[in-house]
Structure 1
Amino acid sequence: MTLKDFRAFFNNQLINLYPKKEVDAFFFRTIEALLQLKLMDFFTNENEIIKEKDLQTLKTIVSRLQKEEPIQYILGATEFYGYQFNVNSNVLIPRPETEELVSWVLEEVKNTEEELKVLDIGTGSGCIAITLKKELSYLEVNAIDISEKALETAKNNANFNQADVKFIQHDILSDKRLDCTFDIIVSNPPYVRELEKKEMKANVLNNEPHLALFVEDDNPLVFYERIADFGIKHLNKNGLLFFEINQYLGQETKQILMEKGYKNSILKKDLFGNDRMIKANL
């Protein structure tokens, strides 16, 4: 089968499941990862015969896409803030909204040449912590997660990106304290309510870790409350707290921070116009 023929096969198998633009994106992402061919390479090599071994691997990818498995998990990697991250079913796939959160943190601290101590709570793949360290090498970055498997993935990503980040297994819902304080705490905790599942795509619901996604409808802000309490004990004077938040609960999250004594809270929208981030300080 030639590359041109495989593209036709790829489209025919997936066009009823995904929008055409998404199918095209999947195709070029796949051939770049498996055959090291970029978009322009395809058009100059479209009549090239695909090796049988490669063809079988490519067809397996198509089969997995037909089951609505995320392309990032299938290929085992994704890009975040220009850096490559390994991802698997133990960690969430990093989103563009989280890149915006990272940009906000960097904007706040980029002119401070001090060795600020940062803590990323619920690090998952490590994308927030590692990116902060890569962008501002003078930051002392720490990251915690309850999941041992997630931490293993994060450590591998730190090694791959040559980022010096300290990872700690810790349950933020426990009362256990850490033996240090921080200048910045940043977190993208679980915030999707059970009632919002109907709004989510099957590829997310059936593949990404529910532990990192969902909270109970009757206590949707539990992580924000606990992290805010944690910050009171672990943030230095004038320390900053950054959250990615549920778009429907922006004012409620802001109210929690105010009641716990945080000041100067700012609610910020994401690129889609949804309330998505909050910054406050002690």
Structure 2
Amino acid sequence: MSLSYQQLVKNWSIQLTQYESTEAQNLVNWLLEHHLGLRRVDMMQFLEEKDLSKELKDDFYRLKTGEPIQYILGKGPFYGREFKVSPATLIPRNETEELVHLILKENKSSNLRVLDIGTGTGCIPITLDLEMKNSEVFALDISIAALEIAKENAKTLHAKVSFFTCDILSENPELSELDILVSNPPYIPIEEKGQMHANVLDFEPDLALFVSDEDPLIFYQIIAEKGKKLLKSSGRIYFEINERFGPMVSGLLENLGYHNVRIIQDLNGKDRIVSGHLSG
């Protein structure tokens, strides 16, 4: 049986009931492009049933269960590059691209020393290394499985990033004289689980998402405290944050003696980044 590409997208997207119509169509297009090499510009092309492989149909079934397409395909886009992902890592998101873009815009000097804490796929340090001039970039994570993915991404994308295992809550990185400290740490309190989509809850790693309700700012507190020793006197700190915590994280930095502390909103108008300078 033959059907048009357009009809296939329509038939499949209406089955993705957990997504809005436009997002569902985008996901089906992404899946078909991956398997068939076809894009939306090919919508008038007709397909035969035999063109739809078992692997494609199996992947569509996984999509219907709510599994993120990045895990299905094993990759996701970030800042114009493809990054390998796995269930051990968070999926790179647009908000984190905004964080990286801000760092690049505000730090144009060469030979900067940078540390990313809680690196996941390595999308932050790898991008910074590739976009900065002669930078020296380090990244840490508590998850050995995540670090393996990050190392693969660095190798594939030809980035020079030094990765190491570290539990930032209980260990001190053996680094100093950093120009930039950046982190997108776990920042979702357990109490917010009920407000989250199943495709995040059921598939992305709890370790990288959640903090206790009793101490939701623990990572910001510990990282900012250790940042005072890790950073040069002229160093800068950048955090991605839960939109609820802007004033609290900025107040935390100010109480620790950071200067020029700012809350920056993302493209959706939500508080998303807090930054500060170690000296005034």
C-alpha deviation, 1:180, in angstroms: 3.4
Whether contact under 8 Å (1:118, 1:141) holds in the other structure is yes
Q: Distance in 1 between matches of 2:93 and 2:10?
A: 29
Whether contact under 8 Å (2:187, 2:216) holds in the other structure is yes
Cα deviation, 1:208-236, whole Å, max 9, x if unaligned, reads: 00100000011000000110111011101
C-alpha deviation, 1:279, in angstroms: 0.9
Whether contact under 8 Å (2:186, 2:208) holds in the other structure is yes
In structure 2, the CA distance between the partners of 1:58 and 1:2, relative to structure 1 (3 Å rule), is: farther
- Which one of 154, 157, 165 corresponds to residue 158 of structure 1? 154
In the TM superposition, 1:193-272 aligns within 5 A as: 193-272=189-268
C-alpha deviation, 1:3, in angstroms: 5.4
Q: Distance in 2 between matches of 1:162 and 1:76?
A: 19
Partner SS state of residue 68, structure 1: coil
Q: CA RMSD in A?
A: 1.5
Cα deviation, 1:233-263, whole Å, max 9, x if unaligned, reads: 1101110000001111111111111111111
In structure 2, the CA distance between the partners of 1:170 and 1:260, relative to structure 1 (3 Å rule), is: same
C-alpha deviation, 1:6, in angstroms: 3.8
> Which residue pairs with 1:17 in the alignment?
18
Cα deviation, 1:96-144, whole Å, max 9, x if unaligned, reads: 111110011001112x1x3010001100001111111111142111110
Q: Distance in 1 between matches of 2:105 and 2:112?
A: 14
Cα deviation, 1:72-114, whole Å, max 9, x if unaligned, reads: 111111101111111111000111111110011001112x1x3
TM-score norm. by structure 1 comes to 0.93
* Paired residue total: 276
Whether contact under 8 Å (1:145, 1:170) holds in the other structure is yes
Whether contact under 8 Å (2:14, 2:24) holds in the other structure is no
In structure 2, the CA distance between the partners of 1:62 and 1:268, relative to structure 1 (3 Å rule), is: same
Q: Distance in 2 between matches of 1:150 and 1:2?
A: 43
C-alpha deviation, 1:50, in angstroms: 5.0
Letter in 2 for 1:95: R
Partner SS state of residue 47, structure 2: coil
> Which residue pairs with 2:67 in the alignment?
69
Letter in 1 for 2:135: L
> Which residue pairs with 1:30 in the alignment?
31
Partner SS state of residue 238, structure 2: strand
Q: Distance in 1 between matches of 2:9 and 2:270?
A: 36
Whether contact under 8 Å (1:13, 1:62) holds in the other structure is no
> Which residue pairs with 2:176 in the alignment?
180
Cα deviation, 1:38-84, whole Å, max 9, x if unaligned, reads: 211242x2x132546x5211211121112111111111111011111
> Which residue pairs with 1:129 in the alignment?
125
Percent identical residues: 45
Q: Distance in 1 between matches of 2:155 and 2:50?
A: 33
In structure 2, the CA distance between the partners of 1:237 and 1:88, relative to structure 1 (3 Å rule), is: same
C-alpha deviation, 1:18, in angstroms: 2.0
Q: Does 1:81 align with 2:83?
A: no
In structure 2, the CA distance between the partners of 1:75 and 1:256, relative to structure 1 (3 Å rule), is: same
Whether contact under 8 Å (2:176, 2:229) holds in the other structure is no
> Which residue pairs with 1:93 in the alignment?
91
Moved more, 178-187 or 121-130: 178-187
In the TM superposition, 1:39-58 aligns within 5 A as: 39-43=40-44, 45=45, 47-51=46-50, 54-58=52-56
Q: Distance in 1 between matches of 2:43 and 2:49?
A: 12
Q: Does 1:280 align with 2:276?
A: yes
Partner SS state of residue 15, structure 2: helix
C-alpha deviation, 1:12, in angstroms: 4.4
Whether contact under 8 Å (1:3, 1:42) holds in the other structure is no
> Which residue pairs with 2:166 in the alignment?
170
